[in-house]
Structure 1
Amino acid sequence: MFMGAIEATIVSTAMPAIVADLGGFSLYSWVFSSYLLMNAATVLIYGKLSDIFGRKPVLIIGILIFLAGSLLCGLANSMEQLIFFRLLQGLGAGAVMPIATTIVGDIYSKEERAKVQGYLSSVWGISAVTGPALGGMLVEFVSWRFVFWINLPLGVLAIGGLLLFLHENIEEKKPDIDYAGTVVFLLAISCLMFLLVEGGFRFPWVSGQSALLLAAAAAAFAVFIWIEQRAASPMMPFNLWQIRSILIANIVSFTTGIMLIGISSFLPTYVQGVMGESATVAGFALTAMSIGWPIASTLSGKMLLSIGYRKTTIIGGLALIIGSLLFVFMSPEEGPWWAAVSSFFVGIGMGLTSTAFIVSIQNSVEWEQRGTATAANMFMRNLGNTVGAALLGGILNSRLQAFLQNQPAEEVKSLSIDSINELLGKNNSAYSASVFQVLKEGLASSLHAVYIVVFIFSLFSFFFLLFLKKGE
């Protein structure tokens, strides 16, 4: 869990430095999208495999694939290479978070789970606190490549701990994996992501390419649902969604996943590119979210027992609204403290809701479905991350391109989105001071549009939480 949390935050802090070194700001969101795509596509498969073969062997295999991807990411010499290696990293990451969470559901009683899941979320949060700060310091004083290589000793320790201390007795069953559903889902989400990232940038929203991608995604999703309804062991067990609390937990996990990636991916770029602060300061601004998250997770375990599931999640939903609204009103003059306070409130909201969801889901199903049900919730969060990275990255690119094209100065009109590389690299000799100012304004304006969308999704999240049954 420590390794997974470090990965979730440390790369975001390093991204401005990676773009400055490798170039390709227009590919920024693909570094997140490629990782999240494979993560989302495999998380349910790993959950199913862990129900069949046991948690330990599946988790160890996932960690090994993740470590191979991490090693290669640190060796990348271009954005295209980095994006490909992130695919491999995501392929392994799909096993890490859901199975670690499922193991806790296995080894503790129903009464103990709320408290222990809170503690586990706190461990997640403590490691997430160190991620942005450590990432900033590695970027500033060593190299961004160590942001990926730091996973190697953590992964070796995790595997050693699993081999020595996790003992389980599993009756192996015949594997019944929904490969067809996995492939069709991967096709559907890939088409949707490409449309969201590149639409309005590489090709117009209203165009033959957009229509073709949208039609392909819709058709693939329709086929996916058809396959899942008929599969003996479906990738997405829709029968679980008939339980009201699980349905709402999964929907809100999707919307909060979009919010989470929008803040964690683009906040370091705002702090460094617009506010002009260092990578270390950007890391600490993002760390505030990771401080709020474990505090709220620990409280959530106690609140579930005292005031109930519904009230706990609604308080979390209100915190998400406050945090995202603060991001909407953020400006360069406010400085990194404003960004940190905004992040803190979002972390409070995420901690309260995510812990409550996991406990509720694991209490709603038996052992045989616990791995699948937990993974399904993680899947919806990851799917939200994936769609969010694509959607918000597309908004950033298209708004930035429109801003530059609408500038009256000829020297600005000749700039492209990749001109932001120079801004993030602090290469002040590349352009005049006036051009740099325009680039800052364009980046600030584009990221403001991203935060407005994040706020809208916080309202969606709160709306769905109101449908939870009273007394839960």
Structure 2
Amino acid sequence: MSSAPEPPPRPDPAPAASSRDTAGSVWRLFSPGLLPATLMLGGGVTLFAVETYVTATVAPSIVRDIGGLDLFAWLTTLYVAAAVLGAQFVALRPRTLGLRGVYTVGALVFSAGSLVCAAAPAMPVVLLGRAVQGLGAGMLSGLAYAFIRHVYPEPLWRKASTLYAAIWGVATFLGPTAGGLFAGGANWRYAFSILVPPALLMAASAGRLLPRVADERQDARPPLAQISLLLAAVLLVSAAGTDGRADLKTGMLAGSLALFAAMLGLERRAATRLLPHGATRLGQPIARLYLVMFGLIITVSSDVYIPYFLQTLHGVAPLTSGYLVALVALGWTLTAFFTGTLRGRGAVLAISAGCTLEAGATLALAPLLGDETAWGGWMAMAPAVLAILAMGGGVGLCWAHLVAGVLRWAGDAEQDKASAAIATVQSLGGALGAALSGVIANGAGLVDPGGLAGAQAAAHWLFLLMAAPGATAFFVSLVPERAVSPSTPRKAPTEREK
């Protein structure tokens, strides 16, 4: 696959860094000058990550308490679909609202959604709260990437991405612990309430602890048509997952693909774009980077059903099942730390190896989780534990290099758009992955005939089929070295690239 012409140099968008900076560790992010912003950006990611594992742990308890098993996948789908809107708001915010203001709004919206979930009398109200939560979480996640180039010198961009992975690793313990403590009966409501005080504190602190940055955007008009088509495609897939009629399910899936294709076609011709220039053309390196991200996140999002299968088929307690699914993020963190400093050819190999590891681990979960053997101890569950850990570890091998590659290839005026698109691709992949998981699980018999036989079939087919996007990402990842780590940063798209 041929690469685009080498981009011309541009001025460094971050403060100048010495060679000592390049070799610095991730702990430089906590130096006195960077500490306040690091705490705020890390706090936003922490809210997103901890809430993810709190919900994953208490979701089976919600279903047992107020029903709604057929809507199970929507708990994740609506959350991440709304996060797409939140991430885009970072790039498309009004000119009068700076990044610090977006942070405050995001934290307040997240708090409101958490309170709705805590007070919900039925599953549809929980889903409403999840959508509001997702909107706020998307803003906070998008801001984490948008602020990277304003806060840190360029040699620290990969390390900042590694820090975010480390936060997800910490969340693997905090989230399931919080969720497991409140998993009994109706106590799951308190699992949502505990996130409100820190979110309100962060909203109050944003104006003082985050730097004021200039607005470099050339165009802040919202690409409403593309966003609408994108969300409609995701929601249509989710609806297909809850409908039992095969002909209607097939029609919804076909309609979703058509909407997604229409969005890409419109994006190529539109004057106001959702994505950076070149992101819809596979001949451009930035498009391939985003596509690898997309495939990885779709596959890893099948973990939404892991706690349910662990509890239903293998007799695992809610707290333990929460910790086990959290191993996905722990694996992400560990591999990110070991490979986050690779460059050039090493970064390319890490991406390809990560795609392979994730796809293989997901495939291995099909036989490991797709039986009804009660696990009597850690030795019995060790193979599944390793597969779950490797599932996230594959993403960790890739993510920092993909993020750094996108930020290097985006033009100066499109940095906010490129940063928001990272969060959008992550949220969209999560929404589509959860929706496809619902389609596969329900289609395989999770609800009808249900019971142990239905759960077994659902687990088998879910992980067997959801390994495919990760495998596809591997083939897309076979790109020239300079596509991932160009020797000189990009200045602006050429007329040919547009």
Using structure 2 for the length normalisation, give the TM-score: 0.79
Shift of 1:112: 2.0
Partner of 1:364: 409
Asked whether the 8 Å contact 1:271–1:336 carries over to 2, the reply is no
Name the stretch that deviates more: 168-177 or 356-365.
168-177
Partner of 1:259: 299
Shift of 1:137: 2.5
Name the stretch that deviates more: 276-285 or 376-385.
376-385
Structure 1 counterpart of 2:389, from 316, 326, 344 = 344
Partner of 1:97: 141
Q: In structure 2, do the counterparts of structure 1 residues 336 and 282 end up closer, same or farther at CA, with 3 Å as the change threshold?
A: farther
Shift of 1:342: 1.3
1:325 matched to 2:363? The reply is: yes
Secondary structure of 1:308's aligned partner: helix
Shift of 1:402: 8.7
Q: Quick one: which amino acid aligns to residue 328 of structure 2?
A: M
Report % sequence identity. 23
Partner of 2:6: none
Name the stretch that deviates more: 317-326 or 143-152.
317-326
Residues 354-393 of structure 1: pairs in structure 2 closer than 5 A: 354-393=399-438
Asked whether the 8 Å contact 1:192–1:217 carries over to 2, the reply is yes
Name the stretch that deviates more: 134-143 or 451-460.
134-143
Name the stretch that deviates more: 108-117 or 135-144.
135-144
Structure 1 counterpart of 2:197, from 137, 150, 153 = 153
Partner of 1:34: 78
Asked whether the 8 Å contact 1:51–1:369 carries over to 2, the reply is no
Asked whether the 8 Å contact 2:275–2:418 carries over to 1, the reply is no
Q: Quick one: which amino acid aligns to residue 344 of structure 1?
A: L
Partner of 1:280: 319
Which whole-Å deviations, capped at 9, do the CAs of 1:15-35 have from their partners, x for residues lacking one? 111110011211111221121
Partner of 1:446: 458
Q: In structure 2, do the counterparts of structure 1 residues 249 and 216 end up closer, same or farther at CA, with 3 Å as the change threshold?
A: same
Which whole-Å deviations, capped at 9, do the CAs of 1:73-99 have from their partners, x for residues lacking one? 111111111112222222222211121
Partner of 2:286: 246
Asked whether the 8 Å contact 1:137–1:279 carries over to 2, the reply is no
Q: In structure 2, do the counterparts of structure 1 residues 216 and 451 end up closer, same or farther at CA, with 3 Å as the change threshold?
A: closer
Asked whether the 8 Å contact 1:106–1:367 carries over to 2, the reply is no
Name the stretch that deviates more: 223-232 or 311-320.
223-232
Which whole-Å deviations, capped at 9, do the CAs of 1:441-463 have from their partners, x for residues lacking one? 32122111111112223222222
The separation in 1 between residues aligned to 2:280 and 2:446, in whole angstroms, is 41
Q: Quick one: which amino acid aligns to residue 308 of structure 2?
A: T
Structure 2 counterpart of 1:463, from 457, 475, 479 = 475
Asked whether the 8 Å contact 1:3–1:155 carries over to 2, the reply is yes
Asked whether the 8 Å contact 1:130–1:287 carries over to 2, the reply is no
Q: In structure 2, do the counterparts of structure 1 residues 367 and 49 end up closer, same or farther at CA, with 3 Å as the change threshold?
A: farther
Secondary structure of 1:302's aligned partner: coil
Q: In structure 2, do the counterparts of structure 1 residues 156 and 234 end up closer, same or farther at CA, with 3 Å as the change threshold?
A: same
Secondary structure of 1:291's aligned partner: helix
Q: Quick one: which amino acid aligns to residue 364 of structure 2?
A: L
The separation in 1 between residues aligned to 2:295 and 2:472, in whole angstroms, is 7
The separation in 2 between residues aligned to 1:315 and 1:296, in whole angstroms, is 11
Residues 119-198 of structure 1: pairs in structure 2 closer than 5 A: 119-140=163-184, 143-171=187-215, 175-195=220-240, 197-198=241-242
Q: In structure 2, do the counterparts of structure 1 residues 222 and 323 end up closer, same or farther at CA, with 3 Å as the change threshold?
A: closer
Query: Which structure 1 segments of 5+ residues have no match?
Result: 405-416, 418-438
Partner of 2:162: 118
Shift of 1:327: 0.8
Secondary structure of 1:237's aligned partner: coil
Q: Quick one: which amino acid aligns to residue 325 of structure 1?
A: L
Shift of 1:262: 0.5
Shift of 1:319: 2.2
Partner of 1:14: 58
Shift of 1:318: 2.8
Partner of 1:409: none
The separation in 2 between residues aligned to 1:374 and 1:3, in whole angstroms, is 19
Asked whether the 8 Å contact 2:234–2:435 carries over to 1, the reply is no
Q: Quick one: which amino acid aligns to residue 464 of structure 1?
A: V
Shift of 1:163: 2.1
Partner of 1:45: 89
Shift of 1:344: 0.9
Partner of 2:104: 60
Q: In structure 2, do the counterparts of structure 1 residues 90 and 403 end up closer, same or farther at CA, with 3 Å as the change threshold?
A: closer
Structure 2 counterpart of 1:235, from 274, 277, 288 = 274
Partner of 1:308: 346
Query: Which structure 2 segments of 5+ residues have no match?
Result: 1-44, 486-498
Number of equivalent positions: 431
Q: In structure 2, do the counterparts of structure 1 residues 402 and 142 end up closer, same or farther at CA, with 3 Å as the change threshold?
A: closer
Which whole-Å deviations, capped at 9, do the CAs of 1:348-377 have from their partners, x for residues lacking one? 111111111111111222443222112212
Shift of 1:398: 1.9
The separation in 2 between residues aligned to 1:303 and 1:231, in whole angstroms, is 37
Q: In structure 2, do the counterparts of structure 1 residues 230 and 461 end up closer, same or farther at CA, with 3 Å as the change threshold?
A: closer
Asked whether the 8 Å contact 1:289–1:347 carries over to 2, the reply is yes
Asked whether the 8 Å contact 1:65–1:88 carries over to 2, the reply is yes
Secondary structure of 2:119's aligned partner: coil
Name the stretch that deviates more: 217-226 or 36-45.
217-226
Q: In structure 2, do the counterparts of structure 1 residues 93 and 323 end up closer, same or farther at CA, with 3 Å as the change threshold?
A: same
Q: CA RMSD for the aligned pairs?
A: 2.7
Q: Quick one: which amino acid aligns to residue 250 of structure 1?
A: Y
Shift of 1:222: 5.1
Asked whether the 8 Å contact 1:53–1:172 carries over to 2, the reply is no
Asked whether the 8 Å contact 1:282–1:336 carries over to 2, the reply is no
Partner of 1:410: none
Q: Quick one: which amino acid aligns to residue 118 of structure 2?
A: G
Shift of 1:343: 1.4
Shift of 1:47: 2.7
The separation in 1 between residues aligned to 2:258 and 2:360, in whole angstroms, is 38
Asked whether the 8 Å contact 1:10–1:134 carries over to 2, the reply is yes
